[in-house]
């Protein structure tokens, strides 16, 4: 089952366009995104992450560190 990104109505998996509002359904795009994410996760596990991913991880670590050092525990 998929849901229209525009009107949130439930759609058949095989449908390419929403039968309620005509919005193009994200089926193929979503699957591609999931495949990309899976590939990224696999790459991380094998230690082969991209510079962008390294930067993102560094940013996340910095945020975590800042939260831990915050006197109130919240910003
Ligand atoms: Zn729709």
DSSP string, 35-75: HHHHHHHHHHHTT---HHHHHHHHHHHHHHHHHHH-TTS--
If you measure from the C-alpha of residue 9 to the centroid of ligand 1, how many angstroms do you get, rounded to a whole number? 6
Is the model more confident about 75 or about 10? Answer: 10
45 φ, ψ (degrees, to nearest 5): -65, -30
If you measure from the C-alpha of residue 29 to the centroid of ligand 1, how many angstroms do you get, rounded to a whole number? 16
Summarised one tens digit per residue, pLDDT across range 49-63 is 777 877 888 888 888
If you measure from the C-alpha of residue 7 to the centroid of ligand 1, how many angstroms do you get, rounded to a whole number? 4
pLDDT at 38: 87
Percent of the chain with pLDDT over 90: 0
Token duo for residue 69: 């050092």
37 has pLDDT over 80? yes
Q: Alpha carbon 33 to chain centroid distance? A: 7
If you measure from the C-alpha of residue 69 to the centroid of ligand 1, how many angstroms do you get, rounded to a whole number? 45
If you measure from the C-alpha of residue 19 to the centroid of ligand 1, how many angstroms do you get, rounded to a whole number? 7
């Amino acid at each position: 089952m998929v849901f229209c990104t525009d009107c949130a109505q439930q759609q058949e998996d095989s449908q390419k366009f929403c039968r309620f509002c005509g919005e193009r359904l994200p089926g193929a795009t979503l699957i591609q995104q999931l495949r990309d994410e899976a590939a990224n996760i696999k790459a991380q596990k094998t230690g082969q992450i991209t510079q962008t991913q390294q930067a993102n991880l560094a940013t996340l670590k910095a945020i975590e560190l800042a939260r831990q050092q915050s006197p109130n525990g919240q910003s």
